[in-house]
């Protein structure tokens, strides 16, 4: 493992430091013709081979399973631009997910790196995966995204001088100029065009100079000009000594000519692999000649889709092509076939799941323990920088996002101020009136509901939006999940606290609650703890569910919390078999804490401006609502335990969600 990690060193070296092994890149192949990379990878990428890959996904309870990939094999040569083609549903993205290590569940087969069983932790240090949707931070500018990525992705072994030079924009500007983004360094990602966002996604992964780059549908959503620019960029990167593997649905003739290697799938089977210029001769040998003046890429997709009925049914055509390429084992159609590559089909080099660091056990309970972080680790890929540096960079990014996000920052504080003023006017000076004690009691419960719903629902709505970015960045080894989770909690803390403090001060003063510092500070502490618990529940729901499901689950969970809070039905009147539910309701601890803060502690009798005030003596209210024997410290401990336990559970649920996606 140590040797593999040492070989996977991913620092940039100057072009003069190594002798180029690949074809010299001509300027007209680049996105920016006036620029060419002055640095190349330090070593050649490995030969990537796979054999008998089978991928099965469950269809649901009592519905069985579906096989996506059917024992496909193949070889991707170092320094080549590979296109994985095929009609929709052929298994292109699934094959790419498996080769990158993004999918490990339901997979059987062998994946080899330089003819040795792939060790995924070392392989992921050599590679990166750029998925179809451009998962960028919308509030960060191009330069900010690149600088933060450099701080996260450059490994510990990179010297401080080299890292400082990189972060000081020398290498960053070279990458941006080569990709044609130098005029957009101060443009936010949300304001970039589709082609610019795609190039920025590539630029972010080029910082640590990966040897193998995987891209899922890099031309999706781009016009013809942007497609050509993007593919020419990928070709230039391959010619500099990297292996570029990308899926593409149906390229034009000009794009098809840019690829050095083509791998075509149909119905989960390989119907051709080899050089692009040998596709037509291959079709001739199996009796499916390509008509003159036709784009071979279009024609092979037509064959895979069964649109050429005159030469046989779809199943017959596909099987004929599968037999011709031996489901990916035949290497005769490579430009320069290496006889040693045939060893993959003759030697027993099956890479069992025990040899793959990212393997998930097959047993249900073992798999559940692994996904929750107990037992054998699912993800052993070493992060590039220390946990402290990751946390520092993520906090910097979080600060920038918080400062620019009007919805999550300014509007959140403004809403608390407005609602506080409205409730203060509605319950104006009710806190010291003996005739309005029950109104004030209802105000305390209204405060809890506001703190719960606004904090929880906003977290449920926003946290899942970060999941796609988290999945990409975490998989590409930008940072650990622990660093991300801690930074998220720290970044959210000031805004949530500030909104709660403003709301509490306004409502406390306007409703004329007892003006005693100890009571006010305790009231503020209870409000903050209730807010933190609500945010923890929002994190938990947001980690497990989508926005649509979360907006349903959140209010549904809140109903039992209110039911067991002791507001509508006092704690003494709740049926005995339902009493355990009261210990799970954090609103019960919040309501008790607020009532004891306002009316407990031997408070003197209240003012009475009516003929008779039933609750002029506060102890009478405490007996009425069954809180006369409650203890404040119990409520504080209950809320603190809720915060701690829910945050821990939310972290492991988030970890399980990420692992289950794989």
Neighbours of 403 (CB within 10 A): 10
Query: 616-651, pLDDT tens digit by residue?
Result: 888 888 888 888 888 899 999 999 999 999 999 999
Structure-block tokens of residue 6: 């040492």
pLDDT of residue 308: 55
- Using the structure block, give the residue that is written with the tokens 């999940």: 481
SS3 130: strand
H helices within 545-630, ranges in order? 547-563, 586-599, 618-624
- Evaluate whether 605 touches 434 at the Cβ level (below 8 Å): yes
Q: Largest Cα–Cα distance in the chain?
A: 106
Closest CA to 91 of 258, 299, 236, 271: 271
- Spell 237-250 as b/e; 16+ CB within 10 A means b: bbbbbbbbbbbbeb
Where do you find CATH 3.40.50.300 in the chain?
A: 2-351
CA 584 vs CA 182, 449, 459, 578, 643: distances in Å: 55, 16, 21, 11, 12
- Evaluate whether 77 touches 276 at the Cβ level (below 8 Å): no
Helix (H) or strand (E) holding 213: strand 212-216
Closest CA to 333 of 284, 293, 275: 275
- Using the structure block, give the residue that is written with the tokens 């970060």: 466
- Using the structure block, give the residue that is written with the tokens 């407990």: 600
Judging by DSSP bridges, how do beta strands 13-14 and 65-76 pair with one another?
unpaired
Q: DSSP of 394-406, one letter per residue? A: HHHHHHHHHHH-I
Q: What whole-number distance in Å separates Cα of residue 624 and Cα of residue 615?
A: 10
Q: What whole-number distance in Å separates Cα of residue 587 and Cα of residue 552?
A: 19
User: Which residues in the chain come in under a pLDDT of 50?
Assistant: 1-34, 343-365, 367, 370-371, 373-382
Helix (H) or strand (E) holding 203: helix 194-206
Q: What whole-number distance in Å separates Cα of residue 250 and Cα of residue 299?
A: 10
- Evaluate whether 239 touches 22 at the Cβ level (below 8 Å): yes
DSSP classification of residue 276 = G
Structure-block tokens of residue 78: 């170092």
Q: What whole-number distance in Å separates Cα of residue 337 and Cα of residue 330?
A: 10
pLDDT of residue 345: 46
DSSP classification of residue 26 = P
Which residues neighbour 375 within 8 Å (Cβ) at sequence distance 6 or greater?
Answer: 366, 369
Q: Characterise 91 by phi-psi region: left (phi > 0), alpha (psi -120 to 50), beta (else).
A: left
SS3 141: strand
- Using the structure block, give the residue that is written with the tokens 């990878």: 41
Length of the chain: 662
Classify the C-alpha dihedral 300-306-310-316 as positive or negative.
positive
Judging by DSSP bridges, how do beta strands 243-247 and 127-130 pair with one another?
unpaired
H helices within 23-89, ranges in order? none
Burial (CB count within 10 angstroms: exposed 0-12, middle 13-18, buried 19+), residue 577: exposed
Neighbours of 311 (CB within 10 A): 12
pLDDT of residue 254: 86
Quote the CATH superfamily of domain 2-351: P-loop containing nucleotide triphosphate hydrolases (3.40.50.300)
Q: DSSP of 220-258, one letter per residue? A: TT--HHHHHHHHHHHHHHHHTT-EEEEE-SS--HHHHTT
pLDDT of residue 36: 54
- Using the structure block, give the residue that is written with the tokens 């140590």: 2
pLDDT of residue 466: 83
- Evaluate whether 424 touches 470 at the Cβ level (below 8 Å): no
Closest CA to 587 of 519, 647, 520, 533: 533
Spatial strand order of the sheet with 243-247 comes to: 127-130, 212-216, 243-247, 81-85, 261-266, 269-274
Q: What whole-number distance in Å separates Cα of residue 540 and Cα of residue 586?
A: 15
Q: DSSP of 464-511, one letter per residue? A: GGGHHHHHHHHHTTSS-HHHHHHHHHHHHHHHHHHHHHHHHHHHHHHT
- Evaluate whether 104 touches 356 at the Cβ level (below 8 Å): yes
Q: What whole-number distance in Å separates Cα of residue 425 and Cα of residue 511?
A: 8
Closest CA to 328 of 347, 340, 341: 341
Burial (CB count within 10 angstroms: exposed 0-12, middle 13-18, buried 19+), residue 503: buried
Burial (CB count within 10 angstroms: exposed 0-12, middle 13-18, buried 19+), residue 163: middle
Q: What whole-number distance in Å separates Cα of residue 645 and Cα of residue 641?
A: 6
Structure-block tokens of residue 574: 């709740």
Q: DSSP of 443-470, one letter per residue? A: HHHHHHHHHHHHHHHHHHHHGGGGHHHH
Q: What whole-number distance in Å separates Cα of residue 568 and Cα of residue 375?
A: 46
Q: What whole-number distance in Å separates Cα of residue 200 and Cα of residue 357?
A: 31
Neighbours of 96 (CB within 10 A): 22
Q: What whole-number distance in Å separates Cα of residue 135 and Cα of residue 138?
A: 9
């Amino acid at each position: 493992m140590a040797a593999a990690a040492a070989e996977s060193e991913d620092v940039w070296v100057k072009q003069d430091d190594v002798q180029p092994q690949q074809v010299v890149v001509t300027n007209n192949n680049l996105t920016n013709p006036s620029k060419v990379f002055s640095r190349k990878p330090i070593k050649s990428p490995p030969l990537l081979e796979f054999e008998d890959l089978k991928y099965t996904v469950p269809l649901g309870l009592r519905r069985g399973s579906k096989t996506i990939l059917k024992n496909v094999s193949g070889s991707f040569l170092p320094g080549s631009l590979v296109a994985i083609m095929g009609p929709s549903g052929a298994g292109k993205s699934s094959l790419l997910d498996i080769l990158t290590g993004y999918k490990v569940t339901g997979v059987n087969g062998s994946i080899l790196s330089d003819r040795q069983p792939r060790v995924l932790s070392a392989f992921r240090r050599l590679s990166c995966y750029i998925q179809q949707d451009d998962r960028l931070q919308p509030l960060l500018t191009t330069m900010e995204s690149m600088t933060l990525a450099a701080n996260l992705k450059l490994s510990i072994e990179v010297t401080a001088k080299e890292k400082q030079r990189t972060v000081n924009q020398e290498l960053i500007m070279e990458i941006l100029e080569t990709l044609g983004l130098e005029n957009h360094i101060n443009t936010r990602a949300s304001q970039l065009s589709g082609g610019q966002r795609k190039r920025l996604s590539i630029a972010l992964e080029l910082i640590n100079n990966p040897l193998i780059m995987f891209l899922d549908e890099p031309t999706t959503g781009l016009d013809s000009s942007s497609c050509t620019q993007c593919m020419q960029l990928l070709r230039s990167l391959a010619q500099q000594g990297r292996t570029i593997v990308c899926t593409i649905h149906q390229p034009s003739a000009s794009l098809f000519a840019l690829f050095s290697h083509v791998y075509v799938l149909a119905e989960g089977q390989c119907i051709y692999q080899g050089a692009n210029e040998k596709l037509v001769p291959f079709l001739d040998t199996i009796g499916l000649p390509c008509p003159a003046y036709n784009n071979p890429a279009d024609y092979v997709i037509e064959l895979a889709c069964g649109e050429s009925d005159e030469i046989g049914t779809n199943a017959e055509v596909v099987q004929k092509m599968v037999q011709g390429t031996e489901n990916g084992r035949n290497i005769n159609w490579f430009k320069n076939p290496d006889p040693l590559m045939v060893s993959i089909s003759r030697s027993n080099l099956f890479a069992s799941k025990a040899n793959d660091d990212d393997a998930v056990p097959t047993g249900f309970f073992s798999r559940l323990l692994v996904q929750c972080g107990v037992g054998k680790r699912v993800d052993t890929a070493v992060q590039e920088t220390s946990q402290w540096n990751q946390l520092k960079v993520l906090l910097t990014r979080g600060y920038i996002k918080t400062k620019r996000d009007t919805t999550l920052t300014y509007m959140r504080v403004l809403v608390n101020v407005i609602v506080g003023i409205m409730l203060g006017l509605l319950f104006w000076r009710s806190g010291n009136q003996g005739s309005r004690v029950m109104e004030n009691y209802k105000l305390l419960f209204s405060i809890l509901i506001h703190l719960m719903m606004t904090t929880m629902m906003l977290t449920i709505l926003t946290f899942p939006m970060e999941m796609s970015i988290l999945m990409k960045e975490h998989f590409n080894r930008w940072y650990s999940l622990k660093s991300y989770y801690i930074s998220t909690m720290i970044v959210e803390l000031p805004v949530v606290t500030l909104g709660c403090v403003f709301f509490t001060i306004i409502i406390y003063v306007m409703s004329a609650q007892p003006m005693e510092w100890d009571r006010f500070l305790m009231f503020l502490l209870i409000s903050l703890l209730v807010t933190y618990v609500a945010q923890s529940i929002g994190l938990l729901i947001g980690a497990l569910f989508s926005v649509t499901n979360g907006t349903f689950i959140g209010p549904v969970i809140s109903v039992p919390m209110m039911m067991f809070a002791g507001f509508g039905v006092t704690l003494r009147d709740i049926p005995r078999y339902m009493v355990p539910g009261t210990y799970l309701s954090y609103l019960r601890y919040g309501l008790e804490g607020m009532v004891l803060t306002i009316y407990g502690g031997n408070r003197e009798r209240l003012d009475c401006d009516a003929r008779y005030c039933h609750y002029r003596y506060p102890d009478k209210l405490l007996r009425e609502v069954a809180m006369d024997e409650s203890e404040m410290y119990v409520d504080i401990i209950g809320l603190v335990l809720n915060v701690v336990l829910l945050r821990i559970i939310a972290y492991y649920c988030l970890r399980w969600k990420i692992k289950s996606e794989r």
